[in-house]
């Protein structure tokens, strides 16, 4: 953040407000809970904060006291010779920060766009524990909200959640190399968000290109998963004869592999119809070849289906 | 920083410089085919450079003493600006823009804004793209609303070359395709009748309503993308492009 938000340029004689502004807007209080004066005073207190080191991947925090503004600042109504850590302390203790952080965590673990009343208990937990994230997450995970109907399939999976969940479902022994390229194209390159505000979650993950790339992820996993994924785990040890004789049972087995099996009857019919080996193919020895193709196709289709992208 | 150095830093722009013109041209042709040409057979191309431009050093108020007072070193010298009109001139590196201006093909709109900006970068961009400072959480953009109001029933009223779709094109009704490419998916796995069967099943899955608002939102966006990809591919297959473009 200090790199992106001009920490180096924030000096006593010429403060740069970038870091202070985003700290307040994106990471603590949220818009509407502070004034422009608060931003300026916080920027003064943050003067001197920067990074040092030649290797961009191994930078260290640096507090350059020579360029720090040691004067008196008034921030959120409190006056003192504040330094950067004082601004953090005062901001975290502000009630708006508890609501802001708890709201983000609730979005992430329970469901999005929750009413204030649903989030308030967790905001209170944040305040009561002095901003202990672990305790807030614990409270959310143990709450009735977490396992409510509202939380069921309420979130669009992020690209990373999609990839990790799928790789676990097929018992991959590691992360295939191609995953990183796919993730970038689906819209999430880890540690490289589009801007300091992070990714746009929810349906924001989905635009025409990223949707297509999600479908390509499903196709690649089904056809070229790489050596970390065994055919047996991917294809469930299903035989060609099972595909020919009872495609419905095979579909149900695979639905349990990738989801909880709850799929609308029409969508299930689509999958069964796809898997069914038609007359001419079923009558010859070719059916084994077709069955192998259809099984991979079934994996691809299930992973492509809308329900595979919510959780 | 010199512009060239900036271009070298921004790999994305280099890619655009090398590949965009042909792509833009093809897309314009595709759009023309899709819309049956639009108003008067013309297509409006909007190039949105989202980011911070130093307006005062782009269009320089070179006769205003206040400008040189606040920019004693950064200011562009009056003797080097390319005069446009009384008191205003372009930065000397914009000579080709000056030519466009002289030919009547370029105009500058100054002093566009709104009262009391709150200085949040995110909110500021949102307001610009929505074209509406009064809406606290805009769901449409200024171009998107134009499309909704004027292009109902148009098959492809507009296209976006960037991903994600710029907020200026957010709209309620008229679909705006980006350039999704379904061959990204279909070139993986078997071809022939098996590929066709699979694609048909995929489209059926996205045509089947499901329970739950989030699943339905995903399904809607997916259906939109698949449909757009097929539409665009059909047009691109028909288009022959000629002409050379500057690199």
Q: What is the pLDDT of residues B227-240, one digit of tens each?
A: 888 887 777 777 65
Query: What is the rounded CA–CA span in Å between residue A275 and residue A297?
Result: 8
Q: Are residues A144 and A160 in the same domain?
A: no
According to the model, what pLDDT value does residue B118 have?
81
DSSP 8-state class, residue A228: T
Percent of chain A at pLDDT exceeding 70: 100
Q: Look-up: residue for tokens 């469930």?
A: A236
Q: Are residues A233 and A311 in the same domain?
A: yes
Among the partner-chain residues A36, A154, A212, the one whose CB lies closest to the CB of B185 is A212
pLDDT: is B14 or A190 the higher one? A190
Beta bridge partners of A80: A73
According to the model, what pLDDT value does residue B3 have?
39
For chain A, how many structural domains are there in total?
Answer: 3
Q: Are residues A227 and A297 in the same domain?
A: yes
Query: What is the rounded CA–CA span in Å between residue A235 and residue A295?
Result: 7
Q: Does residue B9 surpass a pLDDT of 50?
A: no
Q: Are residues A301 and A179 in the same domain?
A: yes
Boundary-marking domain end, from A93, A112, A137? A93
A200 CB near a chain B CB, below 8 Å? yes
In a domain, A2, yes or no: no
In a domain, A1, yes or no: no
pTM of the model: 0.76
Interface of A with B in 67-126 (CB under 8 A): none
The verdict on a CB contact (< 8 Å) between B201 and A215 is no
According to the model, what pLDDT value does residue B230 have?
87
Count of Cβ atoms closer than 10 Å to residue B198 Cβ = 25
Beta bridge partners of A60: A52
Q: Is A131 left (phi over 0), alpha (psi -120 to 50) or beta?
A: left
Please name which of A275, A266, A219, A267 lies closest in space to residue A244, comparing C-alpha atoms. A275
* CA-to-CA separations, B209 to A19, A251, B223, in angstroms, rounded: 45, 19, 11
According to the model, what pLDDT value does residue A39 have?
97
Measured CA angle at B9 (ends B6, B14), to 5 deg: 90
Beta bridge partners of A62: A50
Beta bridge partners of B80: none
Per the CB < 8 A criterion, the answer to whether A137 and A95 are in contact is: no
According to the model, what pLDDT value does residue B13 have?
27
Residue A50 dihedral angles phi and psi, to the nearest 5°:
-160, -165
The verdict on a CB contact (< 8 Å) between A266 and B208 is yes
pLDDT: is A189 or A257 the higher one? A189
Per the CB < 8 A criterion, the answer to whether B183 and B230 are in contact is: no
Residue-wise pLDDT for B110-151, tens only, equals 888 898 888 888 888 889 899 988 887 788 899 989 888 887
Residue B217 distance to chain A (closest CA, Å): 7
The verdict on a CB contact (< 8 Å) between A270 and B201 is yes
Interface of B with A in 181-220 (CB under 8 A): 181-182, 184-186, 188-190, 194, 197-198, 201-202, 204-206, 208-219
A222 CB near a chain B CB, below 8 Å? yes
Q: Are residues A166 and A288 in the same domain?
A: yes
Query: What is the rounded CA–CA span in Å between residue A120 and residue A117?
Result: 5
Q: Which residues of A touch B205 (CB under 8 A)?
A: 267, 270-271, 301, 304-306
According to the model, what pLDDT value does residue B30 have?
55
pLDDT: is B234 or A256 the higher one? A256
Mean pLDDT of B84-97: 94
The verdict on a CB contact (< 8 Å) between A208 and B229 is yes
Q: Which residues of A touch B119 (CB under 8 A)?
A: 21, 36, 39
Select from A6, A150, A215 the residue whose CB has the most chain B CBs within 10 Å, as the one to mutate to test that interface: A215
Q: Look-up: residue for tokens 């079923």?
A: A282
Residue-wise pLDDT for A211-231, tens only, equals 999 999 999 999 989 999 999
Q: Are residues A88 and A162 in the same domain?
A: no
pLDDT band per the 50, 70, 90 thresholds, residue B178:
low
The verdict on a CB contact (< 8 Å) between B201 and A301 is yes
Mean pLDDT of chain B: 78
Q: Does residue A299 surpass a pLDDT of 90?
A: yes
Q: Are residues A43 and A74 in the same domain?
A: yes
Q: Does residue B242 surpass a pLDDT of 60?
A: no
The verdict on a CB contact (< 8 Å) between A207 and B225 is yes
Please give the structure tokens belonging to residue B213.
């608002």
Q: Which residues of B touch A259 (CB under 8 A)?
A: none
Q: Are residues A119 and A181 in the same domain?
A: no
Closest residue, chain B, to A216 (C-alpha): B185
In a domain, A201, yes or no: yes
Query: What is the rounded CA–CA span in Å between residue B208 and residue A262?
Result: 15
Q: Are residues A194 and A303 in the same domain?
A: yes
The verdict on a CB contact (< 8 Å) between B218 and A213 is no
Count of Cβ atoms closer than 10 Å to residue B164 Cβ = 17
The verdict on a CB contact (< 8 Å) between A209 and B212 is no
Query: What is the rounded CA–CA span in Å between residue A46 and residue A89?
Result: 13
Q: Are residues A266 and A179 in the same domain?
A: yes
According to the model, what pLDDT value does residue B198 have?
95
In a domain, A258, yes or no: yes
Element (H, E) at A257: helix A247-258
Residue-wise pLDDT for B74-88, tens only, equals 999 999 999 999 899
Beta strands at B88-90 and A60-63: parallel, antiparallel or unpaired? unpaired
Per the CB < 8 A criterion, the answer to whether A137 and A109 are in contact is: yes
pLDDT: is B240 or A121 the higher one? A121
According to the model, what pLDDT value does residue A32 have?
92
Boundary-marking domain end, from A66, A93, A120? A93
Interface of A with B in 125-184 (CB under 8 A): 152-156
Residue B144 dihedral angles phi and psi, to the nearest 5°:
-60, -40
The verdict on a CB contact (< 8 Å) between A267 and B205 is yes
Instruction: Label residues A229-246 b or e (16+ Cβ within 10 Å = b).
Output: beeeebbbebebebbbee
Mean pLDDT of A239-267: 89
A301 CB near a chain B CB, below 8 Å? yes
Q: Are residues A309 and A172 in the same domain?
A: yes
pLDDT band per the 50, 70, 90 thresholds, residue A285:
confident
Quote helix, strand, coil % in chain A, to nearest 5. 55, 5, 35
Q: Which of A137-141, B9-13, B35-39, B123-127 has the lowest mean pLDDT?
A: B9-13
Q: Are residues A231 and A262 in the same domain?
A: yes
Please name which of B121, B109, B203, B235 lies closest in space to residue A4, comparing C-alpha atoms. B121
In a domain, A103, yes or no: yes
pLDDT band per the 50, 70, 90 thresholds, residue B5:
very low
The verdict on a CB contact (< 8 Å) between B122 and A155 is no
Among the partner-chain residues A36, A155, A212, the one whose CB lies closest to the CB of B184 is A212
Boundary-marking domain end, from A46, A75, A93? A93
Mean pLDDT of B184-203: 92
B9 CB near a chain A CB, below 8 Å? no
In a domain, A131, yes or no: yes
Which domain covers residue A259, as residue numbers? 153-311
The verdict on a CB contact (< 8 Å) between B188 and A270 is no
Q: Which residues contact B105 (CB under 8 A, 6 or more apart)?
A: none
pLDDT band per the 50, 70, 90 thresholds, residue B206:
very high
* CA-to-CA separations, A292 to A217, A235, A257, A269, in angstroms, rounded: 19, 9, 18, 20
Closest residue, chain B, to A111 (C-alpha): B214
Tally A–B CB contacts below 8 A.
Answer: 145
Query: What is the rounded CA–CA span in Å between residue B198 and residue A298?
Result: 9
């Amino acid at each position: 953040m200090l790199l992106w938000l001009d920490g180096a340029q924030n000096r006593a004689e010429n403060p740069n407000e970038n870091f202070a502004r985003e700290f307040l807007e994106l990471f603590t209080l949220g818009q509407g809970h502070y004034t422009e004066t608060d931003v300026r005073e916080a920027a003064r207190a943050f003067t001197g904060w920067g990074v040092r080191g030649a290797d961009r991947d191994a930078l260290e925090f640096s507090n350059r006291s020579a360029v720090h503004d040691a004067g008196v600042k008034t921030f959120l109504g409190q006056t003192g010779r504040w330094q950067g850590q004082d601004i953090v302390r005062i901001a975290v203790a502000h009630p708006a920060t508890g609501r802001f952080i708890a709201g983000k965590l609730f979005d992430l673990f329970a469901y999005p766009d929750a009413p204030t009343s649903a989030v308030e208990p967790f905001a209170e937990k944040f305040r009561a524990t002095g901003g202990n994230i672990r305790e807030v997450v614990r409270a959310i995970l143990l709450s009735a909200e977490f396992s409510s109907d509202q939380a069921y399939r309420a979130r669009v999976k992020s690209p990373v959640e999609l990839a990790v969940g799928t790789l676990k479902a097929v018992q991959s022994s590691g992360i295939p190399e191609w995953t990183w390229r796919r993730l970038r194209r689906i819209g999430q390159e880890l540690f490289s968000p589009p801007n300091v505000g992070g990714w746009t979650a929810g349906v924001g993950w989905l635009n025409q290109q990223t949707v297509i790339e999600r479908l390509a992820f499903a196709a690649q996993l089904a056809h070229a998963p790489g050596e970390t994924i065994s055919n047996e785990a991917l294809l469930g040890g299903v035989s060609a004869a099972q595909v020919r004789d009872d495609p419905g049972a095979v579909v149900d087995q695979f639905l349990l592999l990738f989801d909880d099996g709850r799929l609308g009857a029409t969508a299930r019919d689509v999958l069964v119809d796809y898997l069914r080996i038609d007359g001419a193919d079923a009558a010859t020895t070719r059916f084994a070849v077709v069955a192998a193709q259809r099984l991979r196709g079934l994996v691809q289709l299930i992973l492509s289906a809308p329900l595979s992208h919510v959780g | 920083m010199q512009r060239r150095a900036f271009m070298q830093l921004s790999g994305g722009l280099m890619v655009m410089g090398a590949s965009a013109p042909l792509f833009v041209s093809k897309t314009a042709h595709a759009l023309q085919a899709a819309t049956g040409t639009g108003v008067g057979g013309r297509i409006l191309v909007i190039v949105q450079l989202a980011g911070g431009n130093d307006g005062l050093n782009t269009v320089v108020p070179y006769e205003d003493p206040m400008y040189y007072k606040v920019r004693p070193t950064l200011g562009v010298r009056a003797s080097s600006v390319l005069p446009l009109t009384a008191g205003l001139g372009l930065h000397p590196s914009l000579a080709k823009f000056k030519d466009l201006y002289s030919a009547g093909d370029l105009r500058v709109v100054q002093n566009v804004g709104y009262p009391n900006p709150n200085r949040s970068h995110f909110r500021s961009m949102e307001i610009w793209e929505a074209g509406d400072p009064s809406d606290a959480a805009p769901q449409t953009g200024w171009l998107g609303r134009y499309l909704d109001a004027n292009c109902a029933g148009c098959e492809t009223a507009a296209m976006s070359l960037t991903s994600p779709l710029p907020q200026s094109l957010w709209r309620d009704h008229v679909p705006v395709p980006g350039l999704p490419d379904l061959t990204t998916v279909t070139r993986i796995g078997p071809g022939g009748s098996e590929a066709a069967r699979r694609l048909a099943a995929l489209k059926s899955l996205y045509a089947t309503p499901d329970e739950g608002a989030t699943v339905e939102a995903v399904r809607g966006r997916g259906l939109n993308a698949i449909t757009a990809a097929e539409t665009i591919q059909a047009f691109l297959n028909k288009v022959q492009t000629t002409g050379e473009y500057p690199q």
